[in-house]
Structure 1
Amino acid sequence: MSTQDLYDTDFYAWANRQAALLRSGQLEQADITLIAEEIESMGKSELRELENRLTVLFLHLLKWRFQPSRRSRSWELTIKEQRRRLRRHLAHNPSLQHRLEQAREDAYGDAILEAASETGLAEDGFPAQCPFTPEQTLDDQWWPS
């Protein structure tokens, strides 16, 4: 079975085979092109994780701010959890700091759509730009009023 066929039909086996080839120094047999693509993909998944966590956090911060009468322990715990996970994710991937502002913008736009869907409020009822500073976003003591 060719490397491409194995990649297409059994990724797990392909990955283990490539790892074994790299460890044994058999670089000429390793599929360097696909390995590089997979490494890049792994990096992109770390950025997506950052954006997803920010989206969930912004969604709940928006609900907290714009629906104070519906605040719940569940929302509070989700906000706390996402803050913890975001801090940990950034600590494990410090180079994501330079992508944080763009990730915040992208995530906030997604959060507005989700907040509008979940709350029934109009999209334009939320601020067009993220009203939460990066510091507020990760501060366990800060809550939107």
Structure 2
Amino acid sequence: MTAQTYETDFLNWTQEQSALLRARHWDALDLEHIAEEIEDMGREQKLALQSLLRQILLHLLKLALSPACAPRAKWTEEIIEFRDQAQTRIDATPSLKHHAPELFAKAWPQARRAAQKSFELYHEQVQVPAVCPYSIDQVLDPDYFPESSPASDQ
């Protein structure tokens, strides 16, 4: 019955499983789906951190490379917000820190593509570097911000 509920009404399934766990009805638990959901929760934590790293990288690139003047404060605010979110996740789930280098490596090509598309969309003649110019420590450092683009300083 509980495996069928998993497929048809996930919320109801979670309620049933938590009640069975609390009542210690081990034989009635849907162990296969419980294991799958626990694995998915861990995967979601990693994906969320990867997404935040991507966003930080994207905004660092915009801040460093874009000749645009107006959105700079907004990009800085967003970097601060994404860093805070990333740090909150790492603090709440310390083992995420061990996965950060792998997630950082996956986030870089995504951020690079997004930055290049963004620059093209606004007809900015900017070439995003092929190799990430930032270390993971810089990306997560709340006090690190890249030098501005020379064109934006004029």
TM-score (norm 2): 0.86
**Post-superposition offset of 1:122:** 8.0
CA distance in 1, matches of 2:93, 2:65: 32
User: Aligned-residue CA RMSD in angstroms?
Assistant: 1.6
Secondary structure of the 2:45 match is helix
Q: List aligned pairs for 1:1-145, cutoff 5 A.
A: 2-70=1-69, 71-120=71-120, 125-145=127-147
Secondary structure of the 1:116 match is helix
CA distance in 2, matches of 1:69, 1:115: 13
**Post-superposition offset of 1:137:** 1.0
Secondary structure of the 1:17 match is helix
**Post-superposition offset of 1:98:** 1.4
Moved over 3 A (4+): 68-71
**Post-superposition offset of 1:90:** 0.7
Per-residue CA distance 1:12-35 (angstroms, 9 max, x = gap): 100010011111110100001100
Structure 1 pair 122/42, CA: closer, same or farther in 2 (3 Å)? farther
Structure 1 pair 29/117, CA: closer, same or farther in 2 (3 Å)? same
**Post-superposition offset of 1:68:** 4.2
Per-residue CA distance 1:98-140 (angstroms, 9 max, x = gap): 11111001111100111111111689x3222221112211222
TM-score (norm 1): 0.91
* Contiguous gaps of at least 5 residues in structure 2: 148-154
Are the aligned partners of 2:59 and 2:78 in contact in 1 as well (CA < 8 Å)? yes
Secondary structure of the 1:69 match is coil
CA distance in 2, matches of 1:101, 1:28: 40
* Contiguous gaps of at least 5 residues in structure 1: none
